[in-house]
A = this chain, B = another copy of it.
Amino acid sequence: MEVEQFFEDYEVGASRRTLGRTITEADIVFHAGHSGDFFPHHMDAEFCRGQPFGQRIAHGTMTFAIGIGLTATQINPRAMTYGYERLRFPNPVFAGDTIRTTVTIGRKVDDPKRPGFGQVVEICETVNQHGKTVMYCEHILLVQERGSP
């Protein structure tokens, strides 16, 4: 769905929560094949039995891709991704976990190098079914200012 929002329209503190998605063993297998990362932490159940978590864990890159993918329901034609900061994975994701992401407008910053644009920082926090944070990052958007050419 397209939702047009200029820099001025973003409200610090505004928040939206995505649908949930259950991460499956199939997702982990997919992601290994997609990314080329077949490390035993993700792919070798026998190895994992001897590790602290006792089982295979999702790739961080997958938790990021799906955690952010869950938010991809609103297209703002006035915004584009500048980058991400402080990407963290405080807790592991296991097959069978159900995750969802909350996006909160964290702060708005002028962008002196890009006249007509400002930076909007979205705080993205992905939690599992126990309410534990499995992914945290700050998504930096460049957003057009109203009235800019």
Contact = CB atoms under 8 A, between A and B. Distances in A.
A60 B44 CA distance: 20
A45 to B, nearest CB: 4
Interface stretch (A4-12, A81-89, A106-114, A115-123): A81-89
A117 B20 CA distance: 28
B98 A89 contact: no
A94 to B, nearest CB: 13
Interface of A: 1, 19-22, 24-27, 29-40, 43-47, 56, 59-62, 64-66, 68-70, 72-73, 75, 81-89, 96, 98, 129
A20 B1 contact: no
Contacts of A73: 1, 73
